[in-house]
Amino acid sequence: MSEKELKIGDIAHLTGLSEQDVRELVQTYDSLFSYRTIGRVKLFPEKAVRIVRELVDLSGRGLTAEEVESEVRSVKKQAPPEEPAKEVARTAAPLPVEAVIDLRVIQETIARQERRIAHLAEELERERHLREEEAVRFRQALDRLQGRLDRQQEQLAVVAEWVDYFDRQMDEVALPALERVRRTFGKGTGRSG
């Protein structure tokens, strides 16, 4: 029975990667893949899925392209002959797309989240600093207003004293002339009934 041939889209589906990612891996590590072409379409043997998974796994460890290629080649040399592997591949159930984890995508997502958290922390720190400056300005404004209020209260007390003084003076002016003279000289009213 001949081995099933896979297109880039099939490999992408089985590995959970995008077709573009699989194409980039095939271009970067072309010497690791065997394929035949029909027109512009490349057809790969089933073992290409395993190679792509290994490449993703090794790339996620931060190895250079040369180190990844060397590692995959050493694994290929240690691998058992192709026939038993074909049997395992035919009997094994393919992993669902959700189960295949693209480590690079996860790392990029984590890095993006870390950058976002750092950005938010900086914004929070700037906001806290602005609020502290604002609080200082509010305290200064409150102190100035309190000082103005104190001065106005003092002025109002002086005005109240003047109002009382003028009220007394007006009361004096409103008294009949004889009563004013008596008050001025300290004599009581000696009128009798």
Whether the per-residue pLDDT at 132 is higher than 90: the answer is: yes
Residue 154 above 70 pLDDT? yes
Confidence category of residue 62, pLDDT binned at 50, 70, 90 = confident
Residues 6+ apart with CB under 8 A from 51: 29, 32, 33, 72
Across 40-48, average pLDDT:
91
Q: Confidence class of residue 187 from pLDDT cuts 50, 70 and 90?
A: low
- Residue 94 near residue 55 (C-beta atoms within 8 A): no
Distance in angstroms (rounded) separating the CA atoms of residues 183 and 166: 17
User: Does 81 score more than 70 pLDDT?
Assistant: no
What is the rounded distance in angstroms from the CA atom of residue 56 to the CA atom of residue 104?
7
Q: What is the pTM of this model?
A: 0.39
Q: How far is residue 89's CA from residue 110's CA, in Å, rounded to a whole number? A: 33
- On the question of pLDDT at 95 being above 60, the answer is no
- Backbone region of residue 63 per phi and psi (left: phi > 0; alpha: psi in -120 to 50; beta: other values): beta
* Cβ neighbours, 10 Å, residue 59: 20
Q: Select the more confidently predicted residue: 101 or 145.
A: 145
Give counts: helices (H), strands (E), the chain.
7, 3
Q: List the one residue out of 103, 106, 97, 69 whose CA is nearest residue 12.
A: 97
Mean pLDDT taken over the chain: 79
Query: pLDDT digit string (tens) for 108-120?
Result: 678 778 888 987 8
Q: Are 15 and 53 in contact (CB under 8 A)?
A: yes
pLDDT of 88 reads: 41
